[in-house]
Amino acid sequence: MSNSVDQSTESSGLSPQQRLESSNTRLVDAGIATIKDMETLRACVAYENKNKRRVQIFHRLKRRADEI
């Protein structure tokens, strides 16, 4: 069983990369807004830590965690 952050998906079928890698901020916001569980949220945080480390994305993920 692989535990790769890049391959982690939830029932929507979106990987963290698909949720966070768009130049369109509305698509990134939608990707974050549709996170339904903490496992997916953690995978997205791990992906962002590993790749871009964008502060504004971390803030959006934190807000979503507070909502969940």
- pLDDT of 13: 83
| 47/53 Cα distance (integer angstroms) | 9
pLDDT bracket for residue 40 (50, 70, 90): very high
The number of domains in the chain is 1
**Closest among 42, 38, 36 to 16, alpha carbons compared:** 42
Mean pLDDT of the chain: 87
Is the pLDDT at 7 greater than 70? The verdict is no
Asked if the structure places residue 30 within a domain, the reply is: yes
What is the domain extent for residue 29?
Answer: 12-67
In angstroms and rounded to an integer, the radius of gyration of the C-alpha atoms of the chain is 11
Asked if the structure places residue 6 within a domain, the reply is: no
- pLDDT of 12: 65
Is the pLDDT at 4 greater than 60? The verdict is no
Asked if the structure places residue 2 within a domain, the reply is: no
- pLDDT of 56: 95
Asked if the structure places residue 7 within a domain, the reply is: no
Chain CA centroid to CA 24, Å: 15
Residues with Cβ < 8 Å from 28, sequence gap 6 or more? 19, 20, 22, 57, 60
pLDDT bracket for residue 8 (50, 70, 90): very low
